[in-house]
Amino acid sequence: MRVWNFSAGPSMLPLEVLEQAAAEMTDWHGTGMSIMEMSHRSKDYMGVRDEAEADLRALLSVPDDFAVLFVQGGAQGQNGLLPLNLIQRNGSGKADYVLSGSWSVKSCEEAQRYGDIRVAGTSGQAWQDQGKEWAPWTWFPEPSQWDVRPDAAYLHVCTNETIGGVEFNDIPKLDVPVVADVSSNILSCPIDFSRVSVAYAGAQKNAGMSGIALMMIRKDLLGHAMDLCPSAFNYANIEKQQSMFNTPPTYSIYMAGLMFKWLERQGGVAAMQARNAAKSEALYGFLDASEFYTNTVHPAYRSRMNVPFLLRDQSLDALFLEQATAAGLTSLKGHKSVGGMRASIYNAMPLEGVQALIDFMTEFERRNG
Ligand SMILES: *Cc1c(COP(=O)(O)O)cnc(C)c1O
């Protein structure tokens, strides 16, 4: 029996995708072997890789002057690899960071080991807006307030803060290249590559399984790595070798490829954007109408992917989680830094799963409210 899995990552995959992987597990397309037993340099595997890249390019309309890389080290690996590859791009050794929650703070802290890092904007303090006070990390610093050094090698932002449940995709056009951590909202909506010069994402939330980061990077930003950057993590080397400088996580690339095909069958990114809007609107609408549950994120910046919520009576948290699990709704416990609950509703979660959660929450409130 399959459950509705609300895990923040790794997270649920479409049953269709898992069933295809299972059917192809021991004999991929009549080769008599599994993808994971296949040379990464073989014609068959190169075909799998090439198709994954082509499909990702098509789904996100990635322009030709961008490279698409499958990089190891996950998303957090890039926190160090990005400065190693980019911070000396213009010789300045400077990079600026917008802080909007746990993940962007982590990225910024790691980068400090490699250069002169400055905070361009932060939501790490309370903000008065709409006649209310919004707590730190429950809103997003507006671009008009960003203070970006003109000689910064890049500006880093995180477009979806997975832990806080804060999302912001309206990146402005800047002279400094914008690097975006899109780990938890990639392929859930379009990316404007005239404004974002590097987008990267661990694959395990919206695009398959762990093991790789997907990266779209404007080609002119390649080739400026610091001498001490490991060769296998020099993005220019990775691009030159078509993401096979060394043996890549072949199965992770294959699984991402199956996810891309599934996304195409759903109607692509535009269809996912509409579906994700419907899912998150249903859940936020329910939370806002309730006296029993609450979401504390500023409405303009609520994530369509990760919906944190609190029970007003927190002594019911354990009971809520126990009964949710028994009802086949799993992994709803919120991150320890936020508390309460979190429903992660990435691409693979259908509206039906969100509706099942709302039905359970309605019934739980009726019994305990
Ligand atoms: C999950 C996540 C990460 C970390 O990903 P890893 O692949 O585990 O390193 C980084 N940034 C964001 C926004 C995330 O959601």
Q: Are residues 282 and 338 in the same domain?
A: yes
Among protein residues, the one with the nearest Cα to ligand 1's atom 13 is 183
How many structural domains compose the chain?
A: 2
181 is in an annotated binding site: yes
Cα 167 to Cα 146, 257, 300, 324, 329: the distances in Å are 17, 26, 9, 26, 24
Q: Domain check: are 135 and 275 in the same one?
A: no
Residue 6 lies in a domain: no
Tell whether 224 and 276 lie within a shared domain.
Answer: no
Select from 242, 266, 290 the last residue of a domain. 266
Rg (CA), the chain: 21
What is the structure's pLDDT at 321?
98
> What pLDDT does 1 receive?
87
- Identify which of 156, 159, 183 to mutate to test ligand 1's pocket (most ligand atoms within 8 A of the CB): 183
Alpha-carbon span 92 to 77, nearest angstrom: 22
DSSP 87: T
Q: What is the per-residue pLDDT for 309?
A: 98
The answer to whether the annotation marks 85 as part of a ligand binding site is no
Residues making up the chain, counted from first to last:
369
pLDDT at 369: 87
Is 282 in the same domain as 241?
Answer: no
In a domain, 9, yes or no: no
| 265-271: long-range pairs with CB below 8 Å, 24+ | 268/59, 269/59, 269/60, 269/187, 269/188, 269/189, 269/190, 270/190
Question: Atom 14 of ligand 1 has which residue's CA nearest to it?
Answer: 183
Q: Which residue has the tokens 């390649």?
A: 222
Q: If residue 320 lies in a helix (H) or strand (E), which one and from where to where?
A: helix 317-326
Consult the annotation and say whether 78 binds a ligand.
Answer: no
pTM: 0.98
Residues of the chain where predicted confidence (pLDDT) is lower than 70:
none
| Residues 168, 152: Cα–Cα separation, whole Å | 22
User: Could you tell me if residue 4 is inside a domain?
Assistant: no
Q: What is the dihedral of CA 28, 31, 34, 35, to 10 degrees?
A: -70
Among 103, 106, 188, 344, name the best residue to mutate to test ligand 1's pocket (greatest count of ligand atoms within 8 A of Cβ).
Answer: 103
CATH code, domain carrying 299 = 3.90.1150.10
* CA of residue 217 to ligand 1 center, whole Å: 18
Tell me the C-alpha to C-alpha distance, in Å, between residue 119 and each of 87, 99, 122, 201: 15, 7, 7, 22
β-pair type (66-71, 4-5): unpaired
225 and 355 assigned to the same domain: no
pLDDT tens, position by position, 66-98: 999 999 999 999 999 999 999 999 999 999 999
Same domain as 23, residue 71: yes
Whether 10 is in a domain gets the answer no
- Same domain, yes or no: 65 and 52: yes
Structure tokens at 309: 């919520």
Burial 74-87 (b: 16+ CB within 10 A, else e): bbbbbbbbbbbbbb
Domain hosting 339: range is 268-368
Q: How many Å apart are CA 103 and CA 163, to the nearest integer?
A: 8
Ligand 1 pocket mutation pick from 76, 98, 337 by most atoms within 8 angstroms of CB? 76
The alpha carbon of 187 and the centre of ligand 1 are apart by a number of angstroms equal to 15
Q: Are residues 335 and 345 in the same domain?
A: yes
In a domain, 3, yes or no: no
- CA of residue 198 relative to chain centroid, distance: 14
In angstroms, what is the span from residue 183 Cα to ligand 1's centroid? 6
Residues with CB under 6 A from ligand 1: 9, 74-76, 103, 158, 162, 181, 183-184, 202
Whether 262 and 317 share a structural domain: no
Task: Tell me which of 266, 297, 321 is where a domain ends.
Answer: 266
Does 96 carry a binding-site annotation? no
37 and 59, same domain (yes or no): yes
Tokens of 163: 């832990």
List the residue whose alpha carbon is closest to atom 2 of ligand 1.
183
CB 156 within 8 A of CB 236: no
Q: What is the CATH number of the domain that holds 178?
A: 3.40.640.10
247 is in an annotated binding site: yes
Measured from the Cα of 202, ligand 1's closest atom is: 7
Last residue of some domain: 197, 231, 266?
266
- Answer for the pair 69, 239: CB distance below 8 angstroms, yes or no: yes
